[in-house]
Amino acid sequence: MKPRTPPDSPLLFQAVPLVPDFRLELKARKAGHWPVAGADEAGRGPLAGPVVAAAVILDPKRIPEGLNDSKQLSAQRREELFVQILATATVSIASSSSTRIDETDIRKASLDAMRRAICGLAIPASYVLTDGLDVPPGLDCPGQAVVKGDARSVSIAAASIVAKVTRDRMMARVHRVFPDYGFAAHVGYGTPQHRAGIEKHGPCSLHRMSFRPLRKVEDGPEMDELISE
């Protein structure tokens, strides 16, 4: 087989990282929808703890600089932006406990937390941009699900930061109650430290018993414990 000739313009073929902006919000505004909220969740994948959702309506004149997908930011930068978002935007936060996750499933629990966060906004949203594939059912306004939304919309990015920081703080606090699992270090994900704690001490009330390796029933489809946030 004849070897391929390297492209003469390699930069044209390299993936360019997405940077969130305000275009989706402005598009909704042009269509007559205002204000526009961004919504996202954190904590779909861990073996323990709640899934936390946030909804954010940004002030177009006071958008914090550096908003991005929370996973692309350091913990320190997330904390800094968290403070700025709360000082300049309308924010609502809701969560679904491990018990609710076990009673339904992680997708339904995540969407319900997102719905409650959106409905809890002090200023009702006229339109909602959500991260992922689904718009929560039961909203009083239309919405759009945006794949990789936290890398495309600054409103969704802001919500992802608020949800992530809130959940991390919650898990740091519960570490004081259940220190045997190391929640402050891994915030509930299935790390070797966490799995060793479960093996030695058994699960606690925060663990999601419907997730492998915790669930007792071995048959059936795999759960979503390894899905990233």
pLDDT tens readout for residues 140-185:
999 999 999 999 999 999 999 999 999 999 999 999 999 999 999 9
In the chain, where does DSSP find H-type helix? 23-30, 75-88, 98-103, 106-119, 154-177, 183-186, 192-201
Q: How far apart are CA 113 and CA 189, in angstroms?
A: 19
Residue 214, SS3 per DSSP: coil
Rounded to a whole number of angstroms, the distance between the first and last alpha carbons of the chain is: 43
pLDDT of 212 reads 86
Cα(103)–Cα(101) distance, rounded to whole angstroms? 6
- What would the two tokens of residue 216 be? 């007792």
- Which has more pLDDT, 228 or 206? 206
The distance of Cα 143 from the centroid of its chain, to the nearest Å, equals 17
User: pLDDT above 90 covers what percent of the chain?
Assistant: 84
Calculate the CA 201 to chain-centre distance: 29
Residue 93 CA: distances (Å) to CA of 43, 58, 63, 125, 128: 13, 15, 19, 14, 15
Q: CA–CA distance from 96 to each of 35, 60, 117 (Å)?
A: 26, 30, 11
94 pLDDT exceeds 60? yes
Residues 112-142: tens digit of each pLDDT: 999 999 999 999 999 999 999 999 999 999 9
Return the pLDDT at 151: 96
Q: Is the pLDDT of residue 224 over 90?
A: no
**220 Rama class: left (phi>0) / alpha (psi -120 to 50) / beta:** left
pLDDT of residue 6: 54
Q: Please check the confidence at residue 222 and state whether its pLDDT lies above 80.
A: no
How sure is the predictor about 11, in pLDDT bands with cuts at 50, 70 and 90?
Answer: low
229 in Cβ contact with 44 (< 8 Å): yes
**pLDDT beyond 90 at 24:** yes
